Structure 1
């Protein structure tokens, strides 16, 4: 039987799997143990791996169906390589980016909340890493939900928030985008995880436009409070990438962000994602009284 170790990487979120080689098929019992650790810790890190894209696919497929990426936003290089691949890189050939999301800082977000059924998981494998910056921050959305004041949870209740795909626009108001152009969808602010049953705060500064059912002013006030709450250090782990790292995170109960990095240094990570076999479920606000605190 394969011997490996599970080691938490922070008090807030994340676990590292030590002692496995992802170039080899994983035994069923190993997959199940990693999966349970993922449900508990939200992100799973494995270091020092030397993986082909096919091997990354094989690892990912232990946990669900690998998603086919929309080709409308893919580069020619990505299209030629695989219809499931997104290269997160600033590398250019003949002056053109070979990948996606090349440069700069990114605010907290989950992946594809503007889909009717957002992606459940993202797996990112590090190839080239700059000398500084380009770190990924992860925030625990369970803890963010659980630690909101009860009066705020009651105020939000079972409302939904509208999410929109518009990376270039940080001022998402009714007048700032055309919904016929930009993909969008509304989901419960408190989202119930289909496996754990826990409620997570399902909003993000980069993707969430408004809370529905309240005035625009109240929506702005609520989102400002929620976004500031998500950024509290007690919920966050900052991952400093090394080549050979592969991280899998749960988009249903975490958000992530990227720090800036030198634009003249190479950064390349290989991303694939997993479809969610479950519809988005509404969660009850996790009230502190009900939790016994």
Structure 2
């Protein structure tokens, strides 16, 4: 099956046309999609009116699909699917209504972060509900050689639910359970992509809380600069959703954020799968007090 690739922005992203995900794909088509994914970081496939089983099958072309680790937010019939919605099944405000409102890379707070994510839009408000992405290859490459040499060997701490102000809408017992199951992780500040060999920034304001070996003032200064630098507009693509859009992104070289620009009285409903990646990072040794 021929695959048409159309670039979406200068920073990253491309649309794939001519592919129907309701049916199995042949190896040549999968290979073409994967090459486009590695080149552009984010891919868009529109008008995909598919079942959850089709969503999961498509995701598995690119690697193992894991059961979503935050068990309270799983699809009741498909544990591989993370339910992202601002309303629960009874129409009440959902706990995930503000999920992803800070820049992040999926599951970087684990020692086996998601290689990629595949997100399908089922319902979207009349206005807003966008998602924005940032190319972390470009963010790294636009730094000065001297600063790149400084940060290349550094490690940083990634922590689930580090933004305490975001916890007020969540079940506190569930939060304690999830934090216990996901201890703090040390990740490289600069990650080498295992397939392309390119270097990318691998910190995010959502979960990165300190740089190992630096004191708090030094760590805050370095991270504050990186957080501001890595999401400059020239590195980004902003997606305005339509129902049955699918976006897939490479978590090893991109950040993303759900833009807080929609009315929660209108439903925003998404299904997301996570493609399991290779081990990266290690559990923080709290006894050695590695963190800043």
Q: TM-score, normalised by structure 2?
A: 0.87
Distance in structure 2 (CA, Å) of the matches to 1:71 and 1:209: 20
Deviation at 1:71, TM superposition (A): 5.3
Distance 1:170 1:186 in 2: 23
Shift of 1:279: 2.7
SS in 2 for 1:197: coil
Tell whether the 8 Å contact from 1:110 to 1:256 is kept in structure 2 after alignment.
yes
Query: Would you say the 8 A contact 1:121–1:249 is kept in 2?
Result: yes
Matched, 1:48 2:14: no
Partner Cα distance (2:53, 2:223) in 1: 40
8 A Cα contact 1:42 1:253, kept in partner: yes
Alignment of 1:200-279 (within 5 A): 200-260=200-260, 261-276=262-277, 278-279=278-279
**Within-5 A mapping of 1:77-156:** 78=75, 80-94=76-90, 101-103=96-98, 106-156=101-151
RMSD over aligned Cα atoms: 2.2
The structure with the largest helix share of the pair is 2
Q: Say whether the 8 Å CA contact 1:71–1:83 is kept in structure 2.
A: no
Unaligned runs of 5+ in 1: 172-177, 282-293
Distance in structure 2 (CA, Å) of the matches to 1:38 and 1:100: 31
| Offset, 1:51 | 0.7
Distance in 2, matches of 1:33 and 1:234, equals 26
Q: Evaluate the alpha carbon distance shift between residue 217 and residue 71 of structure 1 in structure 2; reply closer, same or farther with a 3 A threshold.
A: closer
Q: CA deviation at 1:134?
A: 1.2
Shift of 1:228: 0.4
Aligned residues of 2:56 and 2:80 also touching (Cα < 8 A): no
> Aligned partners of 1:231, 1:48: CA distance in 2, in Å?
29
Query: Aligned pair count?
Result: 270
Deviations 1:143-195 (A, max 9, x none): 01111122322332301010000154269xxxxxx986763201110100110
1:180-239 superposed Cα distances (whole Å, 9 cap, x missing partner): 676320111010011000011000011100111111101000001000001200000000
